[in-house]
Copies of this chain bind each other. A is one copy, B any other.
Amino acid sequence: MKTNPGRFFEDYRMGEVIAHAVPRTLSGGERALYHALYPARGALYSSDAFARSCGLAASPMDDLIAFHTVFGKTVPDISLNAVANLGYAEGRWLLPVWPGDTLRAESTVIGLKENSNGKTGVVWVRTRGLNQRDELVLEYVRWVMVKKNSSTPAAEAVVPKLQESVPSEALVVPEGLDFSNYDFTLAGERHRWGDYQIGEQIDHVDGVTVEEAEHMLATRLWQNTAKVHFDATNRDDGKRLIYGGHVISLARALSFNGLANAQMIVALNAGAHANPCFAGDTVKAWSEVLDRAETTAPGVGALRLRLVAVKQGAEPFALRDDVGKYQPEVLLDLDYWALVPK
């Protein structure tokens, strides 16, 4: 067999480190495509001049470009035979990615638990994205449900203890970041860190209808090879399941309208792809302020935000039903920390 059949549950070993293939150099090309694929308007990621006024050497690549690139590398080893992408935790952005940087990824297996049906199991991995200087730029824990391919019962279950959210003390502010002279006019909104209250909900108003061509372009751009995103013959209706990360980027970009100053994502606390998204769906987003924290960087505060992506037909701010199940129109429930000028 010359082709990659993907790994099954029994192919993972606790503590194993998997080096993922195909490192990727990112450039202004990926940045331009990001702007074409998502309605992204964060000034720090749009303008070298604005980034310099915030103490950075130039405009870094969008934090989610780094995430998607690293995530895409893991797919052939982690989620080719995945039944479901179950969750994220302990995600941190540790260094900006600049045009010209090359990213590679590796994952450590930190948990394994066979399901009671004996046909699937859950695999937890801690994934690290590294640049060409072997510096850690990004890490996160992800767990997926993977098919078993043998009838041998698995070893004893190991379920990792994960932080409920990244504590604010663990947030890493990029070196040099300084929001003391932040230009709120150029950034697009006047709301400062202090203007956001815990519990506050923001409807981001705008909606984007997704076409098959768009999500496939995006998913390929991240070298994500999961068949379900590309092959219309997999389903009777010819639709392709949209990569969950595409919805993350859409929602994050839409959240500009109300959170234009939530510039940098520095942590991913949790995330659920609540329902599948398909071409033709119109994606909207709302946010909720979950927490606030200070940082030691000048003028820089942090907000912990819930970002919810919904599709057409969603009720305002409706997340779950009476029994705690996600509403059918909810696509994404993401919990992250962002840096905001004070």
A156 to B30 Cα, complex, angstroms: 50
Which of B207, B225, B232 is in CB contact (< 8 Å) with A41?
A: B225
Chain B residues, Cβ within 8 Å of A47: 22-25, 102, 104
Chain B residues, Cβ within 8 Å of A207: 227, 230-231, 233
Residue A221 at the B interface, CB < 8 A? Answer: yes
Residue A157 at the B interface, CB < 8 A? Answer: no
Total copies of the chain:
3
Residue A280 at the B interface, CB < 8 A? Answer: yes
In the assembled complex, the CB of A225 is this many whole angstroms from the nearest CB of chain B, namely 6
In the assembled complex, the CB of A43 is this many whole angstroms from the nearest CB of chain B, namely 5
Secondary structure of the A contact surface, majority rule: mixed
* Size category, A interface: 35 or more
Q: What is the 8 Å Cβ interface bit string for chain A, positions 226-242, against chain B (1 contact, 0 not)?
A: 01001111000010100
**A47 nearest CB neighbor, chain B only:** B23
Once A29-B33, A35-B221 are accepted as A-B contacts, the answer to whether A21 and B232 lie under 8 Å apart by CB is no
Residue A27 at the B interface, CB < 8 A? Answer: yes
A48 contacts B25, CB within 8 Å?
A: yes
Residue A217 at the B interface, CB < 8 A? Answer: yes
Q: What is the 8 Å Cβ interface bit string for chain A, positions 209-221, against chain B (1 contact, 0 not)?
A: 1011110111011
Q: What is the 8 Å Cβ interface bit string for chain A, positions 106-149, against chain B (1 contact, 0 not)?
A: 00000000000000000000000000100000000000000000
Residue A158 at the B interface, CB < 8 A? Answer: no
In chain A between 17 and 42, which residues have their CB closer than 8 angstroms to a CB of chain B? 19, 21-25, 27-33, 35-42
Q: What is the 8 Å Cβ interface bit string for chain A, positions 32-71, against chain B (1 contact, 0 not)?
A: 1101111111110011111000000001000000000000
Q: Which residues of A contact B (CB under 8 A)?
A: 2-4, 19, 21-25, 27-33, 35-43, 46-50, 59, 76, 99-100, 102, 104, 132, 185-189, 191, 195, 202-209, 211-214, 216-218, 220-221, 223, 225, 227, 230-233, 238, 240, 257-260, 280, 282, 312
7 contacts between A and B (CB under 8 A): A21-B43, A27-B28, A27-B29, A28-B28, A35-B221, A41-B225, A48-B100
A21-B187, A29-B33 given; name 10 further pairs at CB < 8 Å.
A4-B257, A19-B185, A25-B49, A28-B28, A29-B31, A36-B221, A41-B225, A48-B100, A209-B230, A209-B232
